[in-house]
């Protein structure tokens, strides 16, 4: 008796799955007689959670409309059953739902599918499905893994590579500092979006006039320092003195008598952007260079 129930239940689930995957609306309508009015169905989609036959019908109608131009066939199917009570068993199994009309398609849908279903016998002897759980194995979880560790490792490596690529785009390869494009972007954000204000210092190495004349300020050997926030003139003075002394010491250590000139501009809290602040600091730098080496000058509109 139990063997008969399990065998018939496996045949029923197999027929229902073939009907759902491979046949049209009329055949699907026929299968409803084998489903309990209060059937519980959990599908593969987040929204596929049905607690009665009527809600399942509504979901299947949308599913059929969405898949009207796709034809599937079932391959490599198998089903087994375990007896629960005299009139009830659980059917479980697997099959592949493979897209059939694939000519000319670049993307083909093939799904490995797993099924568990509760099947019981009615008093009249017919079979009915009380619940069905349809799932797709997680392809990113390797054999022997109990959570998708390999996928997590791959995702982490992809993020790391993305960060490296992003930095390579943003940074100057020689100095490791932000390049002109991203310097402007970040300073503009602080000035216009965050309205932070700040000080900009333009630093030019003395005795590099020829390089600057040939390359221009945007691609030559000039450096920029930006201090965000409401900065005082005294802070700017101290930093400029420190930079002049430190740069001189660095070059002195390799036997060069090298100095720098600095132009300083102060951003207004409102109405300042990168370009206007840059031109103010650049003008101050030219004033500084006109005064001689190892000196700094504020923009006249500080």
Contact 30, 19 (CB under 8 A): yes
Residue 17 has pLDDT above 50, yes or no: yes
Range among 122-131, 163-172, 289-298 rated most confident: 122-131
User: Higher confidence at residue 258 or residue 138?
Assistant: 258
Containing structural domain, residue 224: 172-298
What's the confidence (pLDDT) of residue 211? 46
Asked whether residue 31 falls in the same domain as residue 121, the answer is yes
* CATH, residue 197: 3.30.70.270
Q: How far apart are CA 36 and CA 34, in angstroms?
A: 7
Nearby residues of 247 by Cβ (< 8 Å), 6 or more positions away: 203, 205, 258, 259, 260
Asked whether residue 219 falls in the same domain as residue 125, the answer is no
Asked whether residue 176 falls in the same domain as residue 130, the answer is no
Asked whether residue 130 falls in the same domain as residue 232, the answer is no
In a domain? residue 177: yes
Residue 296 has pLDDT above 70, yes or no: yes
User: Higher confidence at residue 23 or residue 117?
Assistant: 117
What's the confidence (pLDDT) of residue 19? 83
Asked whether residue 124 falls in the same domain as residue 194, the answer is no
Share of the chain above pLDDT 70, in %: 83
Out of 107, 135, 163, a domain closes at 135
In a domain? residue 127: yes
Q: DSSP H helical segments within the chain, as ranges?
A: 2-22, 25-31, 53-66, 149-170, 180-188, 209-215, 233-252, 274-291
User: Higher confidence at residue 66 or residue 217?
Assistant: 66
Pairing of strands 110-121, 127-135: antiparallel
Asked whether residue 126 falls in the same domain as residue 183, the answer is no
* CATH, residue 93: 3.10.450.50
Asked whether residue 121 falls in the same domain as residue 211, the answer is no
Asked whether residue 130 falls in the same domain as residue 223, the answer is no
The average pLDDT across 110-118 equals: 87
Q: How far apart are CA 199 and CA 202, in angstroms?
A: 10
In a domain? residue 144: no
In a domain? residue 95: yes
Asked whether residue 131 falls in the same domain as residue 185, the answer is no
Q: What are phi and psi of 70, to 5 degrees?
A: -115, 135
Asked whether residue 6 falls in the same domain as residue 131, the answer is yes
Out of 135, 157, 184, a domain closes at 135
Out of 89, 117, 135, a domain closes at 135
Confidence of residue 176 (pLDDT cuts 50, 70, 90): confident
Contact 77, 14 (CB under 8 A): yes
Residue 256 has pLDDT above 90, yes or no: no
Asked whether residue 8 falls in the same domain as residue 125, the answer is yes
In a domain? residue 151: no
What's the confidence (pLDDT) of residue 301? 54
What's the number of domains the chain is made of?
Answer: 2
Share of the chain above pLDDT 90, in %: 37
């Amino acid at each position: 008796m139990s063997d008969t129930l399990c065998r018939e239940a496996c045949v029923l689930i197999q027929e229902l799955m073939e009907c759902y995957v491979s046949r049209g609306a009329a055949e699907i309508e026929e299968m409803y007689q084998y489903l309990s009015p209060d059937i519980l169905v959990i599908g593969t989609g987040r929204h596929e959670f049905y607690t009665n036959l009527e809600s399942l019908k509504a979901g299947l109608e949308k599913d059929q409309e969405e898949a009207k131009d796709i034809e599937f066939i079932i391959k490599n199917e198998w089903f087994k059953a375990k007896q629960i009570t005299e009139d009830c068993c659980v059917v479980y199994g697997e099959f592949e739902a493979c897209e059939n009309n694939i000519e000319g398609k670049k993307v083909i849908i093939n799904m490995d599918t797993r099924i568990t279903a509760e099947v019981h016998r009615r008093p009249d002897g017919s079979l009915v499905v009380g619940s069905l759980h349809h799932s797709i194995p997680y392809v990113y979880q390797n054999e022997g893994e109990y959570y998708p560790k390999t996928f997590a490792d791959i995702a982490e490596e992809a993020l790391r590579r993305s960060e490296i690529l992003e930095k390579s785009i943003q940074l100057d390869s020689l100095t490791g500092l932000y390049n002109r494009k991203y310097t402007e972007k970040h300073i503009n954000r602080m000035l216009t979006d965050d309205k932070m204000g700040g000080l900009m210092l333009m630093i030019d190495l003395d005795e590099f006039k020829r390089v600057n004349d040939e390359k221009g300020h945007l691609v030559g050997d000039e450096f920029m320092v930006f201090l965000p926030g409401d900065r005082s003139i005294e802070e700017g003075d101290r930093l400029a003195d420190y930079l002049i002394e430190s740069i001189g010491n660095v070059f002195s250590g390799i036997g060069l008598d090298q100095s720098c000139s600095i132009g300083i501009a102060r951003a207004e809290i409102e109405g300042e952007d990168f370009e206007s602040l840059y031109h103010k600091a650049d003008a101050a730098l030219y004033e500084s260079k006109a005064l001689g080496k190892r000196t700094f000058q504020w923009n006249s509109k500080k």
